[in-house]
Amino acid sequence: RFRRMHVYTPPGYETSSERYPVFYLLHGAMDCDDSWWTVGRAGVILDNLIAAGKAKPMIVVMPAGHTGPLSFNPGAPRPPVDDFTADFKGDVVPYVERTYRVLTDRQSRAIAGLSMGGAQTLGIAIPDLDKYAYFGVFSSGVFGITGGPMPMPPGPTTVTRRPDRSR
């Protein structure tokens, strides 16, 4: 299916023939494919880190992570996380590898995500540890990603302190 994504290429990419490591950066549930670019300023940060010699030049791929309607209604049908995983493995990665000069060995691949993207990262990287040498999970979303009902937080709780009888 059609899916947008943002791709960062390092300075000098257009004039070189070099191949680069690839970093897949996945967004959170309330974000979209351009969130890391526009709000997170990924390109500016990477340009500065590379210029300062604090990061190696790399290609960063920021795909759209939503595969269906987003709903926080616990009774609503939820698309399984495997929809994104299937699209990522079957479409995004092959497209990147045939379109951009990326290195494809394990040591040259990384993946990370925030919230929903963290859960997607775990669903992709853990089963394929032979393909990703590095992965990062930031405030991972875990509830409701398996297609089952999303647990709802309990209502207000009253805490009653019992007198300390150990004295």
Quick one: CA dihedral 101, 104, 107, 112, positive or negative? positive
Measured distance CA(4)–CA(141) in Å, rounded: 22
DSSP code of 24?
A: E
Each residue's pLDDT tens digit in the chain (167 positions)?
677 899 999 999 999 999 999 999 999 988 888 898 899 999 999 999 999 999 999 999 999 888 766 555 566 665 554 688 889 999 999 999 999 999 999 999 999 999 989 989 998 999 999 999 999 999 887 644 444 444 444 444 444 444 555 54
Tell me the CA end-to-end span of the chain in Å, nearest whole number.
68
